[in-house]
C-alpha cells in the first residue's frame, strides 16, 4: 500500500477542488460516481455533505447564542509526545499527521485553542460520522430515564417488523451497548461487506447500476441475520445504532432531527443549525448521518462534562451522563480486540476509557471526535479527513490518544 | 379534467403524509419515484425540499435578527372582492382557494397579518420556485451597476462554452429581460418539454431509467437551439435564468448561494438560513432552486420597497431597485399573451405591473409570490401548493390579483 499524499498537499483549496463555475471535470467531486468518497476528495466533501445528499434540518431554535469565553494559549503547539508506534511529535505536528480539518480545545470551559484547515470554517457543519451514534445513544438513555423506553424489553416490543431478523431475541439494552450477534461486516476494504448496502440504503452512497438490494434503512435492517450470541461481547456494528434510532423514533413519536433540535440544539445555545442525512423515505441515518460545526460539538461535549448542565439549562439528567461516564463491561469490550483501546468499554454508544482522568468520547471514522476528560477539566472537539477509515480509529489513535493525553498532562501539570 | 380536492382535505397533516417511522407506503413522499411532485404530496414536499434533493446552505451570518413590529389587524379576513372569473369571495376564502401554505402582509413595515397552513411553520423554508429568478436577476443588476457585468456584452464573452447554442448571438441584457429566441418548452403537461430534462439535470426530478440526456445544468444549457429572433418579444423561459446565473457566478467568481448570503442574507437580519438545490456538480438551480422562510421573503421584499435600504444597510443600490420598478418594454411583454397580466412587463427577472400603485413582484409557480405595492406601503409574501403549475400563474392570478388589489384599496381607503 502506497503512502497517501500529506495534509498540506491535499488541502482542497490548494487542489482547487470544486472551484470554478462549473468546476473542471478533474476537480469535480460527485456523489453519483462515488468520487465524493475518494481521498483526497473527502477533504472537500466532509465539509459539504448536504450538497451531496438529501438532509433534514436540525433547528437551533431562535434563542441567543451561547458565547464561549476565550483564553487562547500559544504553548500548546510545542507540546511533545510519543506516538503509539514510537515516533516523537509535537501537538502541532499531530494536526497535519491526522489530516485535521478543525480542532477546538476547551479548558475549564474556555477556548484555549481553535484551528481550521482545508474546507472547514467556523460556521460550516462537518460530517460527524459515528459521533452520530453517541447522539442517538444519549437520546435513548434520556428516554430510558423517563420511562419511555424499557432497556430490558425485547426489540420486537418496539419494532415488530424485526421478527425473523437477528434482533428478534435481543433486548434494547443489548442494542444500546452493541453486544448483538449479527452478520454485518464494517470492513470498508471488502466490497461485499454489508456496510455498502447500508450506505446505499441510507443515501450516503450512490445506488449502483442494477442494484437490487434494499433501498431504505429500515428495509436494510430487516435483512439482517443472526451470527453468534447476544449479550456476550461488544462488537462495533453500525446497524445496531440504526436499530436503536428506529426504536427511539418509534417510542418518542418524533424524528431524530427534531429530537436533537428540541432536547439539545434549542437549549445548548449553538451557533448553527446541524443536519442529518435522510434516506429515500425521510428516515435519518442514526448511525452516521450527522453534520455539525466544531464549536457546537464542543458545546455539546462541554454540557456532558458538566453533568448535563449548560447554558442555564439542565439539558440531560445528571444520572444519564453519569451512567455513560461510568462505562460498561470491560470484558465484553476486550473481546472486540481493538488494540488501541485496551481497558475501554462502550456504554450507550459512547467510548469510555476507565482511565485516571475519567475520559470518555464520541468517535467517528476519519478523525471525528468529542473527547471529554473530566479529570483535566478538558474537552476536545476535532474533525478530520484522514485517508484511512479504520474501525476503532486505529491509525489515528496511534497519534491522537497520546497527543490528547500529553495535552491533559500539560494542562494539569 | 376533474376538480382536485380542496385545501382543507389535502392538508398534509390531516392526510398523515410522511408521518410515522417509517411512514406507511401510501403516506410516503419520495423523490426517486417522482411522487414528491404529485399533488397533494406537494403540500408536504414544498416545505421539505432539502429532504429530497442536495442543497447548498445560504448562511444568514452571525448578526442579530431584524425584528418586525406587529400591528395585527382582524379586519382583513372579511375584505370582499370579485375574482377575474366573476366569483364573489372574501380575503380569507381566497387563502384556501389558492392552497396557501403561508401568507404575511406588511403595511408600512409592520406585520398586520400572518398565517401558516399545512406543513409550513415560521422557521421552515418553503420552495420559492421562480422567485429564485428575481434573486438571480437582482444580483445580476447589482453586478451590472458595479461594472462587473456588461449588459451589452455577448453571452459568449462570459460563457465561451455557449458557442453553437441559441445564446451565441444574444446579449446579457436580452437574457436578463428574457427576450431570447430559444427552443425551450415550459409546458408541464407535455412529457417531451425541455423543462423535464432541465429538472433532471438540476436535481429537481429523479433521473428516469435509461436516461441519456444531459446530467448537469450546464450540460443541459449547452444543448439549447435557437428558435426565432432575440430582442423582439418577452418569452418566459427558465433556461434564461440559468444562463444568467451562470454568467453571474462566472463574473463574480462566487457561488450563487454565497452571493445571496454575502450581499443579502447577512445584511437583511433574516431569521433563518435559506438554501438552494444544487446539481450533480454543485451548481445551483438559479431559475427555481431557492427555499426560504415566509418572514425572510417579506424582509427581502420590504428592502425592495424601501429602495434597497433595510436593517440599517443600503443593501441594494437605490438605482438598481428603481430600474427594476420602472419595468421594461410592455410591447415586448404583450407578445407573450399572458392574459392575467395585461399591461405588465418583465425587467431583470421581475414582473412589473405599471399600475397606479407601482406594483412589481417576484413570482413562482404553484403560488409563490413577493408582491410589492409602493403606492399602498404594502408588501405581501405568500407561499402555496396549488395543484396547477400554470405558466404565468394563470389560475392563481384569477383569485390573487383581485384579492391583493382589494387589500391595497382597503388599506389605502
Cell of B168: 451565441
CA max distance for chain B: 60
Phi-psi category of A104—alpha, beta or left, where left has phi over 0 and alpha has psi -120 to 50?
beta
| CB contact at 8 A, B178 and B349 | yes
CA distance B53 to chain A (A): 5
Residue B3 has pLDDT above 90, yes or no: no
Query: Which residues have a Cβ under 8 Å from the Cβ of B132 and sit 6 or more positions away?
Result: B241, B276, B285, B286, B287, B288, B289, B290, B364
B126: which strand partners?
Answer: B292
Per CB-CB distance under 8 Å, the chain B contacts of A56 are 50-51
> In the predicted model, what is the mean pLDDT of chain A?
96
Provide the pairing of β-strand B274-277 with A126-127. Answer: unpaired
Walk me through the domains of chain B, giving residue ranges and CATH numbers: 12-42 (no CATH), 80-132+255-412 (3.40.710.10)
Which pLDDT does position B131 carry in this prediction? 98
CB-closest option in B255, B271, B278 to A62 = B271
Q: Cβ contacts (< 8 Å) between A244 and chain B: which residues?
A: none
pLDDT given for residue B209 in this prediction: 86
Contacts of A255 in chain B (CB under 8 A): 21
Q: What is the pLDDT of residues B279-290, one digit of tens each?
A: 999 999 999 999
Contacts of residue B50 in chain A, CB cutoff 8 Å? 50, 54-57, 275
Cα A402 to chain centroid, rounded: 20
Return the axis-axis angle of helices A238-252 and A194-201, rounded to nearest 10°.
Answer: 40
Interchain contact, B30 vs A65, CB within 8 Å: no
| pLDDT value at B230 more than 90 | yes
Q: Are B92 and B77 in contact (CB under 8 A)?
A: yes
- Mean pLDDT across A322-333: 97
Q: Return the residue of A nearest to B217 by Cα.
A: A22
pLDDT average, residue stretch B208-232: 95
CA-based nearest distance A208→chain B, Å: 13
**A22–B55: do the CB atoms touch at under 8 Å?**
no
* Average pLDDT score over residue span B313-333: 97
Provide the pLDDT for residue B395.
Answer: 78
A345 pLDDT more than 70 = yes
> What are the start-end ranges of the E strands in B245-364?
274-277, 290-292, 309-310, 313-314, 345-347, 350-352, 360-364
Find the CB nearest A51 among B29, B48, B278: B278
Antiparallel, parallel or unpaired: β B313-314 and B368-373: unpaired
B21 contacts A283? CB cut-off 8 A: yes
Contact assessment for residue A184 and residue A194, using Cβ atoms and an 8 Å cutoff: yes
Which residues touch A72 (CB under 8 Å, ≥6 apart)? Answer: A111, A112, A113, A114
pLDDT score of B188 more than 90: no
In angstroms, what separates the C-alpha of B22 from chain A's closest C-alpha?
A: 7
User: Closest residue of A to B32, CA-based?
Assistant: A280
d(CA B37, CA B39): 7
Strand ranges (DSSP E) for A51-198? 55-58, 80-82, 88-90, 100-107, 110-116, 126-127
State the nearest Cα–Cα gap between A380 and chain B, in angstroms. Answer: 23
Q: How far is it, in rounded angstroms, from Cα A182 to Cα A163? A: 14
E-assigned strand segments in B42-191: 55-58, 80-82, 88-90, 100-107, 110-116, 126-127
**Average pLDDT value for residue range A277-303:** 98
Q: Is the pLDDT of residue B378 over 60?
A: yes
3-class SS at A342?
coil
- From A21, A54, A59, residue closest to B54, measured CB to CB: A54
Beta strand extents in A159-293 (DSSP E only):
274-277, 290-292
3-state secondary structure of B267: helix
Q: Let me know: does B327 contact B352? Beta carbons within 8 Å.
A: yes
As to burial, measured by CB atoms within 10 angstroms (0-12 exposed, 13-18 middle, 19+ buried), residue B410 is middle
Which cell goes with A395? Answer: 491509525
Least confident of A90-104, A295-309, B196-210: B196-210
pLDDT for A388-402, tens place per residue?
Answer: 876 555 778 999 999
Probe site for chain B from A122, A210, A217, A282 (most B CB atoms < 10 A): A282
Kindly report the number of other CB atoms within 10 A of residue B160's CB atom. 10
Rounded to whole angstroms, the Cα distance separating B22 from B18 reads 8
Among A54, A123, A280, beta carbon nearest to B59: A123
Alpha helical stretches, state H, B226-315 = 238-252, 256-260, 266-268, 294-305
The fraction of chain A above a pLDDT of 90, given in percent, is 92
Which of A21, A65, A215 faces B249 most closely, judged by CB atoms?
Answer: A21
Nearest-CA neighbor of A272 among A259, A291, A256? A291
pLDDT of residue A391: 55
Q: Who among B23, B281, B282 is closest to A282 (CB)?
A: B23
Phi, psi of B217 (to 5 degrees): -60, -45
Select from B28, B48, B54 the Cβ nearest to the Cβ of A281: B28
Report DSSP letters for B135-147, one per residue: HHHHHHHHHHHTT
State the pLDDT at residue B189: 81
Task: Please give the pLDDT value at position B349.
Answer: 98
B346: β partners: B351
* End-to-end CA, chain B: 41
Q: Which grid coordinates belong to A226?
A: 443472526
Percent with pLDDT over 70 in chain A: 98
Q: Do residues B201 and B158 lie in contact, with contact meaning Cβ atoms separated by under 8 Å? A: no
Omega of the bond prior to A40 within 30 degrees of 0, cis?
yes
Give the number of residues written for chain B. 413
For residue B103, give every residue at least 6 positions away whose Cβ sits within 8 Å of its Cβ, in sequence order, or none: B95, B113, B114, B115, B294, B380, B381, B382, B383
Nearest CA in chain B to A59: B123
Average pLDDT over residues A103-116: 98
Q: What is the CB neighbour count within 10 angstroms for residue B390?
A: 17
H or E stretch covering A361:
strand A360-364
For residues A125 and A276, give the distance between their C-alpha atoms in angstroms, rounded to a whole number: 10
Which cell goes with A310? 449548560
Query: Partners of B370 in the beta sheet?
Result: B362, B381
pLDDT at B334: 95
Closest residue in B to A216 (Cα–Cα): B22
Do A68 and A337 contact (CB within 8 A), yes or no? no
pLDDT in tens, A165-192: 999 999 999 999 999 999 999 887 888 8
* CA B237 centroid distance within chain: 13
Q: Which residues contact B40 (CB under 8 A, 6 or more apart)?
A: B4, B5, B10, B12, B15, B17, B385, B387
Q: Which is it for the CA torsion A118, A119, A123, A129, positive or negative? A: negative
Contacts of B283 in chain A (CB under 8 A): 21-22
Q: How many contacts (CB atoms, under 8 Å) link A and B?
A: 82
Using a CB–CB cut-off of 8 Å, the residues of B that contact A are 18, 21-23, 28-32, 48, 50-57, 59, 62, 65, 123, 215-216, 218, 246, 249-250, 255, 271, 273, 275, 278, 280-283
The whole-chain average pLDDT of chain B stands at 96
In this prediction, residue B389 has a pLDDT band, given cuts at 50, 70 and 90, of confident
Q: How many residues does chain A have?
A: 413
The model's confidence at residue B75, banded by pLDDT at 50, 70 and 90, is: very high
Which of B62, B250, B282 lies closest to A271 in CB terms?
Answer: B62
Mean pLDDT of A82-91: 96
Structure confidence at residue A393 (pLDDT): 55
- ipTM comes to 0.97
Instruction: Say yes or no for a CB contact (<8 Å) between B52 and A54.
Output: yes
CB-based contacts of A212: which residues, under 8 Å, 6+ apart?
none
A95-to-A101, B38, B86 alpha-carbon distances in Å: 9, 50, 71
Mean pLDDT over residues B1-26, rounded? 93
User: Quick check: A372 and A301 in contact, CB under 8 A?
Assistant: yes
Tell me which chain A residue has its CA closest to the CA of residue B278. Answer: A51
pLDDT in tens, A1-32: 568 899 999 999 999 999 999 999 999 999 99
**Is A368 within 8 Å of A130 (Cβ atoms)?**
yes
Phi (first) and psi of residue A64, to 5 degrees: -70, 155
The answer, yes or no, to whether residue B365 has pLDDT greater than 90, is: yes
Amino acid at each position: 500500500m502506497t503512502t497517501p499524499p500529506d495534509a498540506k498537499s491535499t488541502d482542497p483549496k490548494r487542489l482547487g477542488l470544486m472551484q470554478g463555475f462549473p468546476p473542471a471535470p478533474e476537480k469535480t467531486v460527485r456523489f453519483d460516481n462515488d468520487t465524493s468518497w475518494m481521498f483526497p476528495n473527502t477533504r472537500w466533501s466532509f465539509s459539504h455533505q448536504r450538497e451531496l445528499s438529501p438532509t433534514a434540518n436540525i433547528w437551533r431554535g431562535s434563542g441567543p447564542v451561547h458565547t464561549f469565553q476565550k483564553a487562547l494559549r500559544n504553548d500548546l503547539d510545542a507540546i511533545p509526545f510519543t506516538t503509539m508506534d514510537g515516533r516523537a511529535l509535537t501537538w502541532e505536528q499531530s494536526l497535519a499527521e491526522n489530516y485535521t480539518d478543525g480542532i477546538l480545545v476547551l479548558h475549564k470551559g474556555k477556548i484555549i485553542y481553535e484551528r481550521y484547515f482545508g474546507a472547514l470554517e467556523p460556521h460550516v457543519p462537518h460530517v460527524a460520522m459515528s459521533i452520530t451514534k453517541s447522539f442517538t445513544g444519549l437520546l435513548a438513555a434520556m428516554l430510558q430515564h423517563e420511562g419511555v423506553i424499557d432497556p430490558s424489553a425485547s426489540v420486537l416490543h418496539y419494532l415488530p417488523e424485526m421478527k425473523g431478523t437477528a434482533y428478534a431475541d435481543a433486548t434494547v439494552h443489548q442494542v444500546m451497548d452493541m453486544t448483538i450477534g449479527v452478520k454485518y461486516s464494517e470492513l470498508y476494504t471488502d466490497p461485499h461487506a454489508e456496510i455498502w448496502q447500508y450506505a446505499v440504503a441510507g443515501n450516503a452512497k450512490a445506488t449502483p447500476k442494477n442494484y437490487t438490494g434494499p433501498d431504505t434503512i429500515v428495509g436494510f435492517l430487516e435483512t439482517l441475520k443472526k451470527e453468534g450470541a447476544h449479550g456476550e461481547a461488544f462488537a462495533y456494528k453500525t446497524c445496531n445504532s440504526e436499530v436503536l434510532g428506529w426504536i427511539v423514533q418509534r417510542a418518542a413519536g418524533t424524528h431524530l432531527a427534531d429530537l436533537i433540535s428540541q432536547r439539545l440544539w434549542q437549549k445548548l445555545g449553538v451557533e448553527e443549525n446541524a443536519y442529518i442525512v435522510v434516506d429515500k423515505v425521510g428516515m435519518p441515518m442514526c448511525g452516521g448521518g450527522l453534520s455539525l460545526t466544531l464549536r457546537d460539538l464542543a458545546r455539546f461535549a462541554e454540557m456532558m462534562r458538566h453533568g448535563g448542565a449548560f447554558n442555564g439549562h439542565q439539558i440531560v439528567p445528571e444520572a444519564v451522563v453519569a451512567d455513560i461516564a461510568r462505562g460498561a463491561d470491560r470484558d465484553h469490550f476486550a473481546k472486540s480486540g481493538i488494540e488501541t483501546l485496551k481497558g475501554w468499554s462502550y456504554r450507550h454508544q459512547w467510548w469510555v476509557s476507565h482511565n485516571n482522568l475519567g475520559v470518555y468520547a464520541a468517535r467517528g471514522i476519519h478523525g471525528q471526535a468529542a473527547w471529554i476528560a473530566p479529570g483535566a477539566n478538558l474537552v476536545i472537539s476535532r474533525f478530520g479527513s484522514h485517508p484511512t477509515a479504520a474501525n476503532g480509529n486505529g491509525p489515528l489513535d496511534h497519534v491522537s490518544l497520546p497527543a490528547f493525553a500529553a495535552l491533559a498532562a500539560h494542562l494539569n501539570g
